[in-house]
């Protein structure tokens, strides 16, 4: 599983979303799952990039551009992703962040 760090250079939300879309497009033929590190936000209520990433993935899912996505915190908190987690657990279960319930990551199934 490839890891894509969106937060390290602190891009604007627009730039982060454009990078994410491009990375997904480039990775589609070689990867099954991408782990996106978007951070949670220092305010404690969720960062703008995290929110924009999840909204973008919702749109991409509805347009069938991705198969699924799993918020990191959905692993430990009921959020309605149980069936998706069960289905794709073989692909993400070995990741060190899998059982941590990390709000700052999202798994994307291509």
Q: Which domain holds residue 44?
A: 2-109
Diameter over CA atoms, the chain = 37
* Residue 50 to residue 82: CA distance in whole angstroms: 20
For the chain, what is the domain count? 1
pLDDT single digits (tens) 63-110: 999 999 999 999 888 788 999 999 999 999 999 988 888 889 999 999
* CATH code for the domain of 62: 3.30.1370.110
Residues 6+ apart with CB under 8 A from 43: none
Q: What is the pTM of this model?
A: 0.90
């Amino acid at each position: 599983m490839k890891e894509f760090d969106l937060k390290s250079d602190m891009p604007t939300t627009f730039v982060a979303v454009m990078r994410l879309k491009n990375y997904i497009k480039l990775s589609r033929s070689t990867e099954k799952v991408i782990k996106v590190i978007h951070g949670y936000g220092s305010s404690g209520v969720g960062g703008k990039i995290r929110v924009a990433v999840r909204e973008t993935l919702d749109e991409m899912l509805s347009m069938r551009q991705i198969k699924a996505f799993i918020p990191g915190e959905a692993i430990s908190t009921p959020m309605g992703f149980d069936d998706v987690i069960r289905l794709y657990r073989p692909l993400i279960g070995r990741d060190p962040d899998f059982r941590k319930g990390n709000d700052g990551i999202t798994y994307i199934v291509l």
